[in-house]
Amino acid sequence: MPSRVPDGGQRGWIIPIGGAENKENDRRILERFVRLSGGAEAEIIVIPTASRMHETGPRYEKLFREMGAGQVGVMDFDTRRDCQEPGRLRRLEAATGIFFTGGNQLRVTTLLGGTPVAKLIRQRNARGATVGGTSAGASILSEHMIAGGDEGSSAIDGSVRLAAGLGLTNRFIIDQHFRQRDRLGRLVTALSYNPFAVGIGLDEDTAAFIGPDDTLEVEGSGGVTIVDGADVSFSSIDATAEGQPICVLGMKVHFLTAGATFNLTTRTPSAGDLARRKE
């Protein structure tokens, strides 16, 4: 469950990224993560556990240093025992920014889920630390996580597998590489089981910057697809055979680009900067 924000405090930013974010020419997404983590005063921990490539962590460490972050370190986890080490916990306690790389989201949750590290990351975010992740590192941030599924734009019974994420919030469920891998169907299917959460489909090189007031702002070169099931009037998921299409009525879909916003509490979209440009 999400950690409670202390009285008088403010939750930190949550920044899921759709993967393949620009690391060379226009690095606005990663640069904004650094600024929100404290800039020159930031203490950022990179967690590359989702990836099995040894260069992943050092690559982000180098990038964040180039962007002006004060302190950057890499913290990988190979066993669940690693998640109990006092030294690692002390470093995370001091972190102002925590970043999860891409890879396999189930590798992260099976190693970190239910451990002191997972609990501490939730607590740090509730106390103001920025937590972000790209690709698989985006999927794990919420309480409900898409662990896998089929491509396609139709909602099909059995087309998505769900698992428990790290639980920074229960307000949304993330899918990434969204347009590039045609994942609308599996996100709609996930929400058809229980439309409490808001579905957030992130294109590559695109991020949702979710502030302490639960307002999501889009950044990057792609789009964010919002799937809102609050007004669903009917779903046939309970009576549909596996592999068959689902009937869902009343589900709303919004397509947001850079500058547009969506409030996760009121479920209200806004064109934001885009509307002002047309005036």
CATH of residue 75's domain is: 3.40.50.880
Q: What is the pLDDT of residue 274?
A: 73
Residues annotated catalytic, as ranges:
135, 177, 204
Confidence of residue 123 (pLDDT cuts 50, 70, 90): very high
Look at residue 202 and tell me if it is in a domain: yes
Look at residue 8 and tell me if it is in a domain: no
How far is Cα 211 from Cα 119, in angstroms, rounded to an integer? Answer: 20
Can you tell me the mean pLDDT for 236-265?
97
Look at residue 23 and tell me if it is in a domain: yes
pLDDT, averaged across the chain: 96
Look at residue 7 and tell me if it is in a domain: no
Give the model confidence (pLDDT) of 154-191 as tens digits. 999 999 999 999 999 999 999 999 999 999 999 999 99
Count of the separate structural domains present in the chain: 1
Q: What is the pLDDT of residue 279?
A: 60
Look at residue 279 and tell me if it is in a domain: no
Beta strands per DSSP E along the chain:
14-17, 43-47, 71-74, 97-100, 130-134, 144-149, 160-164, 172-175, 198-202, 206-210, 215-220, 223-228, 234-235, 248-249, 252-257, 261-263, 268-270
Dihedral sign of CA atoms 80, 167, 54, 66 in order = negative
Can you tell me the mean pLDDT for 9-22?
98
Q: What is the pLDDT of residue 194?
A: 86
Domain that holds residue 256: 14-274
Confidence of residue 272 (pLDDT cuts 50, 70, 90): confident
Query: 144: which 2 tokens?
Result: 């409900």
Look at residue 134 and tell me if it is in a domain: yes
| 278 pLDDT higher than 70 | no
| 1 pLDDT higher than 90 | no
